[in-house]
Structure 1
């Protein structure tokens, strides 16, 4: 079953929101030294003890802003509700927007809260 472009965009927006809401925290109450995955969604709250996830993914960014910060100077494609294919080099990441330099030298200022996906090239 193929998704319509509107449903696909909504799914990507929700997945993005989900990844921004995931937090790994050390659970001091467990003797195993595992991590506690705390997932809170409307109508659903899950706390899952996962053993040593931090050691598997030590440098995984936990938000779009931190991902973009790790990609400064690199080429990316950013999808927003207004433009599904913004591409360029990440020039800087500010508190609420990112600056991209396109191949022709023009600058794009993208509101971080409107970013649906980021793909490094």
Structure 2
């Protein structure tokens, strides 16, 4: 029997651990950027404000791109729906139909000519 214990993590736990590592990396990068700005002569408050404005600008750009992507998807879905649910007008007109026309009730083609001459009832 082995005395070493090996814990296996689920995919969700590994994903959460990965997100935690990314978050810690971002916090360290933020601190490094603040320190670099302060070495360049920015006061601490101005360095922090500059980083927050940069974050807000990046968020705005991402939201703007997401808006256009969402509109593109909505218009594509609307076009697909409209294309699926409409019939061509020419296709509808080309079919003969039963109606009361100039030569009485009967089957008429698209040019209003009766095509069932001699028959007074629908088949």
Q: TM over 0.5, yes or no?
A: no
TM, length-normalised to structure 1: 0.25
Structure with more of its chain in strand, by fraction = 1
More helix by share: 2
Bigger relative contact order (CA 8 A; separation at least 6): 1
**Rg larger in structure:** 2
